A and B are shown apart, each in its own frame.
Chain A
Amino acid sequence: NAGVMQNPRHLVRRRGQEARLRCSPMKGHSHVYWYRQLPEEGLKFMVYLQKENIIDESGMPKERFSAEFPKEGPSILRIQQVVRGDSAAYFCASSPGSRVSTGELFFGEGSRLTVL
C-alpha cells in the first residue's frame, strides 16, 4: 500500500511564475491537509480538504494561493506569481476520516520549492 505521494520533490521557479504541487493521498483516504514549513521551523497549517470540498482554508494566504482536491486525481496546491518568500517545504498529509474523528495523519515527503 503506497504511502502519501508528493511531486515534484523539488521545484525551482523564477519570481512571477506559477508553482503546482501535487499530492496523492493513501489509498482509501479522502481527507487531505497541506502545510508549509520554513527551515528550522514548525509546520504551518494551510488548508484542509475533503474530496471536492475545501473544509478549512483559514491558513491559506488570501492571494495567489489555492488548493483543490477533485473527485478524481491528486490534490493540487497552486501558487501563482511566486515570490522569494514562498520558498519553503510544502507537506501534504492524508487521513481516512474527518478531522474530528481522525486518528493519525500520514505524511508525504514534501515538495521543496525554491524561488529564484
Chain B
Amino acid sequence: SQQGEEDPQALSIQEGENATMNCSYKTSINNLQWYRQNSGRGLVHLILIRSNEREKHSGRLRVTLDTSKKSSSLLITASRAADTASYFCAFNDMRFGAGTRLTVKP
C-alpha cells in the first residue's frame, strides 16, 4: 500500500502570504490528489494531477508533481483566513497522507 508523508505538519501564516505544503510518496502513482478538510467536516476535493503532468492550476491553487523525486507540492497564493483548514494528499490507491494544518491569521 502507498504511504505518504506531508510536511510541514502545521503551518501558520498571515493573510495575503503564500502557503506551500509538500507531499512525498514511496511507490509509483497514476495520479495524486489534494483535498481540504475544514474542522469537523468531510474532505473536499481540490485538484488532481496525473503522473504525466508536472504542474496544474486551479484559481489560487498551484500543484506540482515531480515523479523523479516522488513528491508533490500544493501552493496557495494570496491566502485568506477562510483557507484555514487541513490539507491532505491522496494517491491512486486512495490512501491519504497525514496532512498539513494550515492557519491563516487575519
- Residues on A lying within 8 angstroms of B by beta carbon are 4, 33, 35, 40-43, 45, 48, 56, 58-59, 91, 93, 99-100, 102-110
Point out the residue from B33, B42, B93, B97 that lies within 8 Å of A42, measured CB to CB.
B97
Judge if B1 is at the interface, Cβ distance under 8 Å: yes
B94 within 8 A of A: yes
Q: Please give the distance in Å from A85's CB to the nearest CB on chain B.
A: 19
Contact with A along B78-106 (1 / 0, CB 8 A): 00000000001010111111110100000
Please report the C-alpha to C-alpha distance between residue A106 and residue B42 in the assembled complex, in whole angstroms: 9
Q: Is the CB of B96 within 8 A of A43?
A: yes
Q: 12 additional contacts, CB 8 Å, given A45-B1, A105-B94?
A: A41-B99, A45-B94, A45-B95, A56-B93, A93-B42, A93-B43, A99-B93, A99-B94, A102-B94, A104-B45, A105-B90, A109-B42
When chains A and B are docked, how far (Å) is the Cα of A47 from the Cα of B94?
10
Closest-CB distance, B78 to chain A (whole angstroms): 24
Which residues of B are at the interface with A, using a C-beta cutoff of 8 A?
1, 30, 33, 35, 40-45, 48, 88, 90, 92-99, 101
Contact A4 B42 (CB under 8 A): yes
Of A4, A104, A109, most B-chain CB atoms within 10 Å: A104
| Nearest CB in chain B to that of A103: its residue | B48
Residues of A within 8 A of B99 (CB): 41-42
Contact present for B48 and A104 (CB under 8 Å) = yes
Cα of A33 to Cα of B91 in the assembled complex, Å? 14
A105 to chain B: which residues have CB within 8 Å?
33, 35, 43, 45, 90, 94
Q: Complex formed: what's the CA distance from A42 to B101 in Å? A: 10
